[in-house]
Amino acid sequence: MYSKKLKAPEHQVAGHSAKEGKLGPLVDGEGRFFKPFQRDFRGKNEAKFYEFFSSNKNAPNHIHGYFPAYHGTQVVEASNGSGKLPHIVLEDVVTGYVKPSIMDIKIGSRTWYPDISEEYFNKCLGKDRGTTSVSLGFRISGFKIFDHQESSYWMPDKNVVHGYNVDEARLALRKFVSSNSLSHSIPDCAFASKIYGGSNGILAQLLELKAWFETQTLYHLYSSSVLMFYENESVLKKGGHDARAQVKLIDFAHFLDGNGVIDHNFLGGLCSFIKLIQDILESSDNSDETNTFRFKNGH
């Protein structure tokens, strides 16, 4: 039985939040993340995914690194005062990040899947159509971006983020790697090459995941998210190499057995997300070249 005092995660950006006195995840402050079993089949299903995947020898080691480490399940006091509940115990993937910028991106043009209730189908279809899921193949579920000019966080309400259109989603991805004030209409993408680019950057990690999703037929991940984050404390330092930009996959309450077929819904959404990141990198590389050219030629 776990007795350490648990608290609401400081850096949670989407999903059910314990901060509002509701049922939500908790952390122990020492690297463990406690996700309460969600209602119906969801909690058991997510625990089953972690049980299967954590012992799956077919997935390469570097792919295992993109998933939070799984530490089993434990019964602990729920955040909403309803008593003790089973929780999935995971690695708290943002442990050690002091001032992270974090974004949760729900991957897939659709979150509904075969054999669900009419009610849940309509709920998912409504959200998919009402957000960028259908048009972009993914939707931003939530984020917090550190504003270096204001020395504060920009964390819009989830309903505002859910209302983003394609252009607003693109703008948020550009602001995620910008150093100028987030209220500025033209983000400078000054950190794009450090965070999105480079051999260990976000894009390189997404491409590794893409290569695996092009062949893996074990799981179909519905409503799962890419969680990307980096450390602002060090991003301004020369090189910014210890910004520790990371990609993790989370939220497997709605996973299905792959039945020998690739997960084309997730793969398609992931490819679309990758394309937007590549576009930002290319445009920021071009502007870097332009600025260098102007500097060298006294423009």
Ligand X SMILES: O=P(O)(O)O[C@@H]1[C@@H](O)[C@H](OP(=O)(O)O)[C@@H](OP(=O)(O)O)[C@@H](O)[C@H]1OP(=O)(O)O
Q: Tell me the C-alpha to C-alpha distance, in Å, between residue 208 and each of 10, 66, 199, 270, 274.
A: 29, 10, 11, 11, 11
* Smallest distance, ligand X to C-beta of residue 38, A: 6
* Smallest distance, ligand ATP to C-beta of residue 248, A: 7
Q: How far apart are CA 232 and CA 170, in angstroms?
A: 21
Q: How far apart are CA 53 and CA 231, in angstroms?
A: 28
Can you tell me which of 26, 76, 89, 90 binds ligand ATP, judged by CB under 6 A?
Answer: 90
Query: Which of 266, 292, 268, 93 has the alpha carbon at shortest distance from 193?
Result: 292
142 vs 240 by CB, closer to ligand ATP: 142
Note whether 247 binds ligand ATP by CB under 6 A: no
* Smallest distance, ligand X to C-beta of residue 16, A: 6
Select from ligand X, ligand ATP, none the partner in contact with residue 251, using the beta carbon and a kind-dependent cut-off of 5 to 8 Å: ligand ATP
128 vs 231 by CB, closer to ligand X: 128
* Smallest distance, ligand ATP to C-beta of residue 273, A: 15
Instruction: Say if residues 191 and 266 touch (Cβ distance below 8 Å).
Output: no
Q: Tell me the C-alpha to C-alpha distance, in Å, between residue 185 and each of 144, 180, 196, 269, 292.
A: 18, 10, 21, 27, 23
Note whether 68 binds ligand ATP by CB under 6 A: yes
Can you tell me which of 128, 147, 251, 263 binds ligand ATP, judged by CB under 6 A?
Answer: 251
* Smallest distance, ligand X to C-beta of residue 22, A: 9
**Cα 173 versus chain centre, distance:** 12
Note whether 47 binds ligand ATP by CB under 6 A: no
User: Where on the chain is the footprint of ligand X (CB under 6 A)?
Assistant: 14, 16, 38-39, 42, 127, 141, 158, 223, 253
13 vs 280 by CB, closer to ligand X: 13
* Smallest distance, ligand ATP to C-beta of residue 29, A: 12
Joined together, the tokens standing for residue 133 give: 């899921």
Residues that bind ligand ATP (CB under 6 A): 9, 12-16, 25, 33, 35, 68, 90-94, 104, 141-142, 223, 225, 227, 250-251, 253
